[in-house]
Structure 1
Amino acid sequence: MAIYFDSVYGADSVDHFIPKSDPINGKKLAYEWSNYRFCCLGENRKKRTEVPPLDPFDPLMKQDSFFINFADGSIYPNPDYDETYKQKCLDTIDALQLDRPDCRNMRKRHFEKYARGTVSIKDLEEDAPFIYQEVVRQGL
């Protein structure tokens, strides 16, 4: 599924999930399709050589790992999961800087447009699938 990248994230990019500089698997996976992730340039640059603990392509990653507080746009781990998994969520948020002010504002802006009726739920699903998923989960 293709999604819209908000300008807060920068240009479209492709990322090596396991960095080429990884001393164990970097060279081996540098040209493997399974190691590529469509992402945005800003987050790719922030990640640098760090491998976030959670990979969205990992079948073991839980679908509802992250929640949004629409009052301030912050993102946080699902409180129902065990402490180890929640820490992986927090480490991923930290590694990719997903809770910085511009990201919070972007999430809040998408939600407010939906709440005012400026965009439909279908528009939200198409342009901001994470916000859409949270609106549905929260019954908003």
Structure 2
Amino acid sequence: MKSYPGYTRKPFYYETDKMGIIHHSNYIRWFEEARVDLLEFTGYPFERIEREGIIVPVLGVSSTYKEMVRFGDEVLIHPIISKYTGTRLNFEYQVINLATETITTLGTSEHCFMSSESNRLVHLKRQHPILHQLFMEYYKTNEEA
């Protein structure tokens, strides 16, 4: 499987605070953008998942800030699948300043798969084997790295 290169982003001015650094709340949005971009990269975009009647709610999210990101910086966000069970999916994130090549932020998010009709857990292996295989391949790739 082709390796995902990460999601590159330049912060917008409105994402900064009075000190000229990116406000902490924006990193949660960036994590989501990176997840959506990863799915697009795999050829199984989020829109397709939703069309197939699956919702992927966020169960938890965390972020640890190591260095500041400022307006004008360019960052690379690596969403890494850290756990996949068939009903749950966890990510770890690394935000890297491309100019300094330093990790500025670490994050996590936890998700599950639910039916949009019944709001019950979906077991991808049984109900959506193609999507299950996709997540398994990326999970195994991350485990081996």
Higher helix share: 1
TM-score (norm 1): 0.29
TM-score by length of 2: 0.28
Structure (1 or 2) with the greater strand fraction? 2
